Chain A
Amino acid sequence: MTAYLRFELRRLIRDPRVIVFTVVLPVLIYFISTGSAGAADRIGSVQVAAYLMVSMAAYGALVGVMSVGIGVANERATGWLRQLRISPVTPGQVVAVKALLASIMAIPSVAAVGVIAATRNGVELSAPQWVALVGLLWLGSLPFAALGLALGFSMPPNLIQPASMLGVFGLAFLGGLFVPVEAMPAALAKIATWLPSNRYAELGWSVAGDKAPPLGGVAILVGWAVVFGGLAALMYRRSAAQK
């Protein structure tokens, strides 16, 4: 299994274009959206520049994490997953490696937006806060890794791209990553608080506000991880049953 993980990691590093794409858009939007924010402006108790840093880092993380589904759909089509199924690597190991790779794809965007926020926008977090931010946004990306895998195991290659884009944008928008929940109409704001994307970013917003993430939010995120994980397992079994 470690050999397979190493193999996949090497492929990931070999093609950094995917990583670049997850980083460019969030950094750009962060540049534009924080242009007019003053140092004293706040959303809730968090400085605007820090709040939007988390929003954009989370958005980029979603793009990166869900991109694993695109790879899976293509590998299904080319027969690579089939080849692995007739090797000693178990399906569970393949899925675990894919989920791990997916979650790693959350980190570049968090790092890039974080660096911009710290150097250009004067966002000041303590070292433990930075560590907590990266760590939580990495761990918290697991439900999206599962969702990306579920899509990858169920969609043909020509549909996976639009499907995951719709998933990412839908979750990011409705979860309050583009428009803060505080600025949403009441009905939408209510929906937002039940979405994994909102609860995921909440991990980061809490760290930026120097608070512990609320347990209710963590529970919702874990719930989604279970739902998407189950969905991914179901879709995997369905795709494996078709020859």
Chain B
Amino acid sequence: MTDAVRLTSVAKNYGAVRAVDGVDLSIARGQTVALLGPNGAGKSTTISMILGLLTPSAGTVEVFGTSPADAVRAGRVGAMLQESGFPASATVRELVQLARALYRDPLPLDEIMATADVASIADRRSDKLSGGQSQRLRFAFALAGNPELLILDEPTAALDVESRQQFWAAMRRYAATGRTVLFATHYLEEADDFADRVIVIARGRVVADGSGAEIKKLAGGRTVSFDRAGQDADAFTALPGVVSAQARGERVLLRCDDSDVTVRALFEGGHRVANLEVTGAGLEEAFLTLTAKTELEPAR
């Protein structure tokens, strides 16, 4: 079966700025995938290209083996975007009914209203909704057509904790019916909790791709660094707690999932570790460290 989504060497430039810089990825049908990355990483741009809202500067995007525009036109894709909105003079119910009428094989009205939790605001005009309510309406509109691929761009951005939980519960029910779900987020917890697979994007590139647990291990760790003093970074990869080792300038950098164990092993093993430093890494920093391997000069 063809993949739900396939990107091949996709790049997107805005003038001189390269928002997406050579992304290759494929998403099999039925997967729930998180696109994780800091703000400005290229998540929204990538999603816009998958939806055919933007044309890539280079590379190809395929959705169910066809162009994004064809897949959208055929009603196989539903999406919830941050900047999308609704006309003021229509009610929630009218908008959901319109969405149903636009697709060939929509979900029953009651099911949409219940899943997206908009039954209580059905008769309210779309301009009289709170941020969270608008977000639920966007979700209702996205899922009304019973799409095979559901794309959500930072779906919980405007939600409080309770609505956030309700939202993910609804999303999980939808994904359980065998649909493909792709959502963007900058919360690692969200990605880990709700996705089978997490693709990390930073500076327009895929920097990590794996299960939530794997990504968490990479991101949750610390960096141990010390003066290199002529030592080879590779010599440290086998130490307990070390995920990866590299030389950067005159320092050795060890990415660790358990820095305490690593530090103990360094001293007990009799290594020369002058100017030792242990730093925690934010998500962005953690993933930029991952990419640094390819971008900085390799260890000699």
Contacts and interface: CB of A to CB of B under 8 A. Distances in A.
Real binding pair: yes
Interface of A: 3-4, 7, 10-11, 14-15, 75, 78-80, 82-83, 85-90, 240-241, 243
Given A88-B73, A243-B48, A83 B102 contact: no
Given A7-B94, A88-B72, A243-B54, A82 B83 contact: yes
Contact of A86 (B74, B77, B90): B77
Query: Is the contact region of chain A dominated by helix, strand, or loop, or is it mixed?
Result: helix
A27 to B, nearest CB: 25
Q: A78, A85, A86: which has the most chain B beta carbons within 10 Å? A: A86
A88 B74 contact: yes
Interface of B: 48, 51, 53-55, 72-75, 77-79, 81, 83-90, 94, 98-99, 101-104, 138, 141, 145
A89 B85 contact: no
Contacts, number: 73
Given A88-B73, A88-B75, A83 B81 contact: yes
A132 to B, nearest CB: 34
A79 B84 contact: yes
Contacts of A86: 51, 53, 72, 77-79, 81, 84
29 contacts: A3-B98, A4-B102, A11-B87, A11-B90, A75-B87, A78-B86, A79-B81, A79-B83, A79-B84, A80-B85, A82-B53, A82-B83, A83-B138, A85-B53, A86-B77, A86-B78, A86-B79, A86-B81, A87-B102, A87-B103, A88-B72, A88-B73, A88-B74, A88-B75, A88-B102, A88-B104, A90-B73, A240-B53, A243-B48
A240 B54 CA distance: 8
Contact of A243 (B53, B101, B104): B53
